[in-house]
Structure 1
Amino acid sequence: MKTVKEEMKESLRKDRWSLHFDGKHPEGREYQAVVLKNPDSEIKLAALDLNDSKAESIADGISDVIDEYKLWDSINMIVADTTSVNTGKQSGVVVRLQRMFTSRGHQVPQFISCQHYVLTEYYA
C-alpha cells in the first residue's frame, strides 16, 4: 500500500505548478516555506529549516524538495518576494534555481515577483 507522500509524489507531477517560497530567519536559523499553486490547488510542500539565509543554502534546500517530488518538469513559474537574496542577478535564489532547471534539461520557469511585497515597499 502506498503512503500519502508516495501518492502525492505521483499525482503532483501530472499538473503544472507555480513554485512559491518565502522565508523568515529568527534566532540565526533560516526557515523557508515551499508551496505549489495552480488555479485548482495550493499544496504546502515543505517547511525547510536551513543553517543560514544565503542564496546557495535556500536554492539547494528548494532543489532538494523539487528532486524529492520529481517536479522539475512540472514547474512553469517561480514566485518570491523581491529581497536581494532572491533576486540577485548573478547569484540570487531565483537565478540559481533557473540555472538548475537548465542544467537538468528543463524549461526555465518565469519569475514573477510577489506583488504584495512590491506594493508594500512602494507605499512604505
Structure 2
Amino acid sequence: MGWRSTEVGLNFRIIGMALASAREELETVYTASFITICFSAILMYYIERNAQPKVFKNIGDGIWWTIITFATVGYGDIYPITFLGELLGCIICLVGVTMVAIPIGIISSSFINIVQKKKQNLEKENDSQ
C-alpha cells in the first residue's frame, strides 16, 4: 500500500509542474475568456433589453446568460428571441467550447512534455549505471 501513496504523490507533483509550466498560456486564455464574457454580456443586454425587458432587466442578467451559455450549461431560464441575440448565442456557445478545449490541450501538452523529460532522465541514469 505504501508504494501507491508514493506513486499518487508523484502524479500530483507532475500535474502541479504541468500547471506551473503552462501558467502564462493559461493566464492568457482565462483573460481572453473573461474579456469575452464581459463584452458578450453587455452586448446581449443591449440586443435583447427592448425585446425582453422583463428577462434582460440589467447587465447582470446578461452576465448570467453569458456565463451559462459560455459554459454550455444552458438552463433555459433566459434565452434570446431576436435574430441578433440568437446569433450571438450561437457564437458564444462555440467560443465557450473552444475556451474549455484550449486549456485542456495546453495542460495535456505540458504534462506530456514533463513525463517525457522524466523518462529521458531515468533512461540516462540507467544508462550511466
Structures share fold, TM-score greater than 0.5: no
Q: Which has the larger radius of gyration?
A: 2
Q: Which has the higher contact order (CA 8 A, sep 6+)?
A: 2
TM-score range, shorter chain: under 0.3
Counting helix residues as a fraction of each chain, which structure ranks higher?
2
